[in-house]
Amino acid sequence: MNDTISLLMNHRSIRKYADAPVTKEQVETIVAAGQMASSSSNVQAYTVIAVTDPEQKDKLKELCGQQTYIAECPVFLVWCGDLSRLKHAAERHLPEKQSYEQTTENFIVATVDAALAAQNAAVAAESLGLGIVYIGGIRNRSQEVSELLGLPELVYPVFGMCLGYPDQNPGQRPRLPQEAVLHWEHYRPQQGEAAVEQYDEVMAEYLRERTGGAKDTPWSVLMAEKLVHPSRAHMKSFLRDKGFLKE
């Protein structure tokens, strides 16, 4: 195992930060590494907004479900899918033609481009000794986040990411056994099911240890509970209003 793979294998989400600044240069280095990730046909259909202003971070904390680490981290990144650059290019060069920014395909392109860049940035940040945590809560109140950050049409917040020097050393959460997520030659549902049963025991034990016996819900029960509660049900109409996913 080389140093890079060790770094990847050692990832854990960090939600408590030391009182040490993250510099503008560090953010630029981290985002530069993000930019080098692959992009579908070089469209680079994402924008990241780096928020350091305490008032702005505090408002974002409110909008993301009161996760205090958003206000506490020195830099909060908001990763956005962004088709507005492409749309402007089409309006400028081919104004007479219909353009197709609103397709599901282009929504996938923008979302994946943002995610690939963000994960490269996360790896770069961790290589510099920083810790990160992804914030899906940025989608809790998408419209208000959009207004706060001034996101125009065809730009949407996919997830946030806190950046800061770690002031905690949390244990690592076990992942699904590899047989669940890696299949050879074709999809093998039974292999996945057996792996989930195994994982249920591992995760129950992990929770039991972490909570001094107070919790031991198997993973598949947590997943069932998650799936029967509608989450962020506004996303479809929000995204359509932003110009995405119309076809």
Subset of 60-79 contacting a copy of itself (CB under 8 A)? none
Angle at the Cα of 142 from the Cα atoms of 42 and 53, rounded to 5 degrees: 85
* Amino acid (one-letter) located at 176: L
Q: Does 214 bind a copy of itself (CB under 8 A)?
A: no
Determine phi and psi for 116, rounding to 5 degrees.
-65, -45
Position among 54, 89, 170, 211 found at the interface with a copy of itself (CB under 8 A) = 89
15-23, 66-74, 162-170, 215-223 -> range binding a copy of itself (CB under 8 A): 215-223
Residue 115 half-sphere exposure, CB side, CA atoms within 13 Å? 9
Nearer to a copy of itself among residue 20 and residue 147 (C-beta)? 147
Name the one residue in this structure whose structure tokens are 């125009």.
152
| Cβ contact 206:216 at 8 Å | no
Q: Does 21 bind a copy of itself (CB under 8 A)?
A: no
For a copy of itself, what does the binding mask look like between residues 192 and 211, x meaning CB under 8 A? Answer: xx--x---------------
26-34, 63-71, 163-171, 208-216 -> range binding a copy of itself (CB under 8 A): 26-34
66-74, 163-171, 172-180, 207-215 -> range binding a copy of itself (CB under 8 A): 172-180
Q: Please work out the total of residues on this chain that contact a copy of itself, with binding judged by CB under 8 A.
A: 119
Q: How far is the CB of 204 from a copy of itself (least distance, A)?
A: 13
In angstroms, rounded to a whole number, what is the distance separating the alpha carbons of residues 191 and 173?
22
For a copy of itself, the binding residues in 120-149 under the rule CB under 8 A are 120, 122-124, 127-128, 132-134, 136, 139, 148-149
Distance of CA 33 to the CA centre of its chain: 16
User: Using CA of residue 19, residue 30, residue 182, residue 4, what is the dihedral sign?
Assistant: negative
Q: Does 159 bind a copy of itself (CB under 8 A)?
A: yes
In angstroms, rounded to a whole number, what is the distance separating the alpha carbons of residues 156 and 35?
18
Position among 71, 109, 130, 138 found at the interface with a copy of itself (CB under 8 A) = 109
Taking alpha carbons only, the member of 95, 86, 81, 105 closest to residue 242 is 81
